[in-house]
Chain A
Amino acid sequence: QKEVEQNSGPLSVPEGAIASLNCTYSDRGSQSFFWYRQYSGKSPELIMSIYSNGDKEDGRFTAQLNKASQYVSLLIRDSQPSDSATYLCAALSGGYQKVTFGTGTKLQVIP
């Protein structure tokens, strides 16, 4: 069982819709969670961090964390074609800076 699991997609949504990306994790000791975005041929870039249960909003992005269910999600409102990328869910586990990544969900926003 992978430590961080995501549906590989692709997830296709029309422009202007809400994209919902989901992730589960197995290590209950994980305390910090992240969403990274990776455009094709580029390196990952951090877009959201979440540390406590509940929602965290940043512009069009909302990260949600439920530690009891070991579930993390990312909502992208008013999706744009420029949001088309692979979204990587990650968890800080194993101490220090060991960040474990899921395999990513590919999002396609259709104009």
Chain B
Amino acid sequence: KAGVTQTPRYLIKTRGQQVTLSCSPISGHRSVSWYQQTPGQGLQFLFEYFSETQRNKGNFPGRFSGRQFSNSRSEMNVSTLELGDSALYLCASSFGDTTGELFFGEGSRLTVL
């Protein structure tokens, strides 16, 4: 069974640009969560989607948005990039509705110059 797939793996952007990251969950998993990981803050919850609905959102500005498609694939978008958005963005999928057992992709490493 294929794992969680995230694309692109690495990307470099400049301040003010926007970026879209993609996540394909494990087949059969309907919940997709997104996290930002930085050395100082650790893993910070961005949002979680289930059956195309955003059920939870973390404390990030409105520049961070996401969506989920009918095939459970998810995208997140960051607009008007800032230097502080440089981070590893991790997507995780889960089979159950509220299990908390997450399977992570390898992440998308974003560098903002």
Residues of chain A whose beta carbon lies under 8 Å from any beta carbon of chain B: 32, 34, 36, 42-46, 49, 88, 90-92, 94-104
Contact = CB atoms under 8 A, between A and B. Distances in A.
A97 B103 contact: no
Contacts of A42: 106
Where chain B touches its partner, the secondary structure class is: strand
Contacts of B101: 34, 46, 49
A34 B100 CA distance: 8
B55 A95 contact: yes
Given A32-B100, A96-B97, A102-B42, 12 more contacts: A34-B100, A43-B90, A43-B106, A44-B102, A88-B42, A92-B98, A97-B50, A97-B55, A97-B98, A97-B99, A99-B33, A101-B42
Contacts, number: 69
Interface of B: 31, 33, 35, 41-43, 45, 48, 50, 55-56, 58, 90, 94, 97-107
Contacts of B35: 101
* 10 nearest A-B pairs in the assembled complex, by CB-CB distance: A92-B100, A103-B42, A43-B104, A101-B43, A98-B56, A96-B55, A97-B48, A32-B100, A97-B31, A99-B100
A46 B31 CA distance: 16
A59 B13 CA distance: 45
A61 B90 CA distance: 26
